[in-house]
Amino acid sequence: MNLERRQEHTICGLSSWSSRLGALTQDTLWCFSQLKGTVEIGATEADIISTVEFNHTGELLATGDKGGRVVIFQREQESKNQVHRRGEYNVYSTFQSHEPEFDYLKSLEIEEKINKIRWLPQQNAAYFLLSTNDKTVKLWKVSERDKRPEGYNLKDEEGRLRDPATITTLRVPVLRPMDLMVEATPRRVFANAHTYHINSISVNSDYETYMSADDLRINLWNFEITNQSFNIVDIKPANMEELTEVITAAEFHPHHCNTFVYSSSKGTIRLCDMRASALCDRHTKFFEEPEDPSNRSFFSEIISSISDVKFSHSGRYIMTRDYLTVKVWDLNMENRPIETYQVHDYLRSKLCSLYENDCIFDKFECVWNGSDSVIMTGSYNNFFRMFDRNTKRDVTLEASRENSKPRAILKPRKVCVGGKRRKDEISVDSLDFSKKILHTAWHPSENIIAVAATNNLYIFQDKVN
């Protein structure tokens, strides 16, 4: 289809296009949309993106980095005039969320790196998000100001105080429009509740509470109360020498405000119901796949550690990511997952060297698309993978500057395991393990994805054929 016909097609189909739920069919192609972030030279470690999250409407996209900063992008309104640009994301607000701190009692530095950002559902004109580092969770309010009062009695236009003696008449200040200003203010600080490093936060569907999870404990907070939290899970053994597993991720059910899951370093997921008891030490459901004896190795336990757990939008399934696979579980079946997808099985024979360079401990995240039909997760060499649960097709794409021409279609990539390497393939040994995609996000209703590659944020959109 040539450009003009495509535009025509786009004008007609614009409304249905923007509300179409994502589905990775044979015809879906992904193309480059935007690249955010500093250029290679001058990039510091502080710029490394550590979390990416769309808000509930997809209008806003937040990123957090190692330097404790949060950058929020806003999607521009689509207009008929610029039909070829499908709502690009532009910087809306930037603020410093966390600063480095020092724990005097333990003589340890507390990193300012943002581990997670979670949006609250919108309740009025302002936006609210939670951001957390290792120890402290903060609630930020992001609001717009487009009017300011003018015509004060005691101050002049520059803000200087007037001499009261010079005032002869009284006037009432009125609000006049001004350039849009977006301000971010910290509304709550939830501190001093975690001995270990916070790995997850999750907002409850009751809009009143949220939880924060560290290696051994999960705490329940009320948004209004910052000096108190309830401990709902505590897996710390009486004798620390007996410690065998830690909590790796936790999330509330999207609709049932009393249900949540948490995953462990032993590859298990526990589902708990807060109505059953105040301290959810006993799980309601326990998900574990029996080990495949043929695959057993020295590294089996390490690679079975779950790095991320996510409920599907429907609330019926959970997806877990361990080092080599992504698994989908049905909440009604505890003894094995219903689907298992190999992310980069070619690494199985390389586990030894990956252990030596610590890559085996990388924590990859995973995401669902809006209709729960496609799942996505990252890999090395700036590759990321998508799996269509219906068609069982999968694709590997790459986030790289070479493919960053506007609307350039991403070519599927392939890793060659051994033997003859084809022209476009890349061999396992040539993979760059320093380029890892740990954090990705999928727009809640459209086929727009955000992929964080070290200090760069790539935004891709699908293309109608």
Point out which residues bind another protein (CB under 8 A). Answer: 123-124, 126, 147, 149, 169-176, 185, 206-208, 224, 257-258, 275-278
Q: Are the C-beta atoms of residues 425 and 419 closer than 8 Å to each other?
A: no
- Residue with smaller CB distance to another protein, 1 or 278: 278
Q: How far apart are CA 383 and CA 396, in angstroms?
A: 6
Using CA atoms in the order 61, 253, 385, 325, what is the torsion angle rounded to 10 degrees?
150
- Residue with smaller CB distance to another protein, 207 or 286: 207
- Residue with smaller CB distance to another protein, 84 or 176: 176
- Using DSSP's 3-state secondary structure scheme, residue 14 falls into helix
Give the DSSP letter string of 104-142: TTTTEEE-----EEEEPPP-SSSEEEEEE-SS-EEEEEE
- Residue with smaller CB distance to another protein, 151 or 406: 151
Q: Residue 256 CB, nearest distance to another protein (Å)?
A: 9
Q: Residue 176 CB, nearest distance to another protein (Å)?
A: 7
Cα dist from 415 to 211, 222, 347, 432, whole Å: 39, 47, 11, 12
Q: Which residues are CB-neighbours of 276 under 8 A, at least 6 positions away?
A: 282, 284
Q: Residue 456 CB, nearest distance to another protein (Å)?
A: 34
Using CA atoms in the order 411, 412, 415, 419, what is the torsion angle rounded to 10 degrees?
-80
Q: To which H or E segment does residue 407 belong?
A: none
Q: Residue 118 CB, nearest distance to another protein (Å)?
A: 17
Q: Which two tokens stand for residue 445?
A: 């209703």
- Residue with smaller CB distance to another protein, 153 or 427: 153
Q: Residue 219 CB, nearest distance to another protein (Å)?
A: 16
Cα dist from 111 to 70, 101, 107, whole Å: 15, 7, 13
- Residue with smaller CB distance to another protein, 78 or 273: 273
- Using DSSP's 3-state secondary structure scheme, residue 233 falls into strand
- Residue with smaller CB distance to another protein, 275 or 336: 275
Q: How many CA atoms lie within 13 Å of 46's alpha carbon, on the beta-carbon side?
A: 10
What single-letter amino acid sits at 203? V
Q: Residue 424 CB, nearest distance to another protein (Å)?
A: 52
Q: Are the C-beta atoms of residues 401 and 38 closer than 8 Å to each other?
A: no
Beta strand pairing call for 426-427 and 415-416: parallel
Give the DSSP letter string of 320-333: EE-SSEEEEEETT-
Q: Which two tokens stand for residue 53?
A: 């999250």
- Residue with smaller CB distance to another protein, 21 or 175: 175
Q: Residue 232 CB, nearest distance to another protein (Å)?
A: 12
Q: Residue 149 CB, nearest distance to another protein (Å)?
A: 6
* Maximum pairwise Cα distance, the chain: 92
- Residue with smaller CB distance to another protein, 226 or 325: 226
Q: Residue 148 CB, nearest distance to another protein (Å)?
A: 8
